[in-house]
Amino acid sequence: MVEAYSIPVTKIEHSRLPGITLENIPFGRTFTDHMLEADYENGEWKNVEIKPYQPLMVSPSLAAIHYGQSIFEGIKAYKNEAGEAYIFRPYDNYKRFNLSAARMEMPDVPEDIFIEGMRQLIALDKDWIPAQENHSLYIRPFMFSSDEMIGVRASEKYKFMIILSPTGPYYSAPMRIYVEEKYTRAAPGGVGFAKAAGNYAAAMYVTAQAKKQGYDQVLWTDVYEHKYVQEIGTMNVFFVIGDTAVTPELSAGTILAGVTRDSVMTILEEMGLRVEEKPVSVDMLMDAYKAGELREVFGTGTAATVSLIRELKYKDFVMSFDTGTWKVTPEIKSRLDAIREGRAADKYGWMFKV
Ligand SMILES: *Cc1c(COP(=O)(O)O)cnc(C)c1O
């Protein structure tokens, strides 16, 4: 078979893998032998190549550093028992990447570079995908403006890259969440729906304040009334109320449309729960809590899959949960993990073979 699009490869001389233990490897600190790099210049993508992972040389006037035209994605690849590698729903991330790019006045990245480049890069570094349960290869595609000029305008040059990081189980203890009613993350008309670097920079201070008070993360609320909830840190949020799972709807463009969110909605329906996307007010949550109907609260995202929430604090009102008795959240995680690790049938066509 002729490869659709073959990217030039410079291989590393000696793999660093023999010196590394993949079992329980911490998230985001170790990178594989190779990376993908491409440049956008004069209206076209060029210099697409796969080469040894290495530092970048950049000018101090690099536009991305000053004005923050920078976006990214987070995706995971898994190895099944037969040793075959699969990427989880990469086309969904690809579409979202180009939506983020459009909002930040950056060029589209073609499928040949994003998807096929990712596939070829992972095929080359396949031995870096840990095979143990709850382990995976985290894939980080990103793009930033690369004009070397100080002046506020959309850059003419961009760099697109993909780096890979093996990761072990992302254990996070059930979280205490502070419902934020002073600072905000995203307003209608803003960039909340985009995976834009600046969104994360703007959240650091607020998260640090919450941590000082003993919370793990904040639950963002709407900018007008601080009444409707949006998402938790870098995770979408779900509330199980009676036999219904409720998650905030996306139409205002203030919430990042998670691929995990979408997958979890499918799994919840498969489990026989009703799923509702709608505006979710803190008042409604407190009423459900007081009535004993608010059963489970969890966050969803690629890094952790699902994270249990054991406490929600809004003004002086504390909603606390005994996560040890929960049924729905652990079941979602186990069903999703089974599909991703190749232990259950891929009935929704989510797994893309490397
Ligand atoms: C990435 C991200 C999510 C989760 O998206 P997934 O596609 O499920 O990983 C949710 N919220 C924010 C702000 C994010 O950046």
What pLDDT, on the 0 to 100 scale, is given for residue 33? 98
- Tell the residue number behind the tokens 């891929």, with chain if given: 346
Of the candidates 200, 256, 204, 198, the residue with the CA atom closest to the CA atom of residue 64: 198
The protein residue with its alpha carbon nearest to ligand 1, atom 5, reads: 258
- Structural element, H or E, at residue 268: helix 259-270
Q: In residues, how long is the chain?
A: 354
CA of 195 to the centre of ligand 1 (A): 8
- CA–CA separation, 236 vs 259, rounded Å? 10
100 falls in which pLDDT band (50, 70, 90)? very high
pLDDT at position 172 = 77
Ligand 1 centroid, distance to 305 Cα (angstroms): 10
pLDDT at 3: 53
For residue range 180-215, list pLDDT tens digits in order: 999 999 999 999 999 999 999 999 999 999 999 999
Ligand 1 binding pocket includes 165 (Cβ within 6 Å): no
In tens, the pLDDT along 45-89 reads 999 999 999 999 999 999 999 999 999 999 999 999 899 999 999
Which residue's CA is the closest to the ligand 1 atom numbered 15?
234
Closest ligand 1 atom, residue 96 Cα: 7
pLDDT tops 90 at residue 31: yes
pLDDT category of residue 295 using cuts at 50, 70 and 90: very high
Does the CB atom of residue 299 touch ligand 1 within 6 A?
Answer: no
**71 with 30: CB under 8 angstroms?**
no
The domains found in the chain, sorted by start residue, are 17-169 (3.30.470.10), 175-339 (3.20.10.10)
Q: The tokens 């604090």 sit on which residue?
A: 313
Question: What does the pLDDT read at residue 133?
Answer: 87
Distance 236 CA to ligand 1 centre (A): 7
Write phi, then psi, for 229 (nearest 5 degrees): -85, 150
Helix (H, G, I), strand (E, B) or coil at 70: strand
Express each pLDDT in 213-222 by its tens digit.
Answer: 999 999 999 9
Q: Cβ atoms within 10 A of the Cβ of 110, count?
A: 18
Predicted pLDDT at 317: 96
Per-residue pLDDT at 1? 45
Report whether 235 contacts 197 (CB < 8 A): no
335 within 8 A of 264, measured Cβ to Cβ: no
Distance CA 121, CA 109 (A): 16
Q: What is the pTM of this model?
A: 0.96
Measured from the Cβ of residue 189, the count of other Cβ atoms closer than 10 Å reads 9
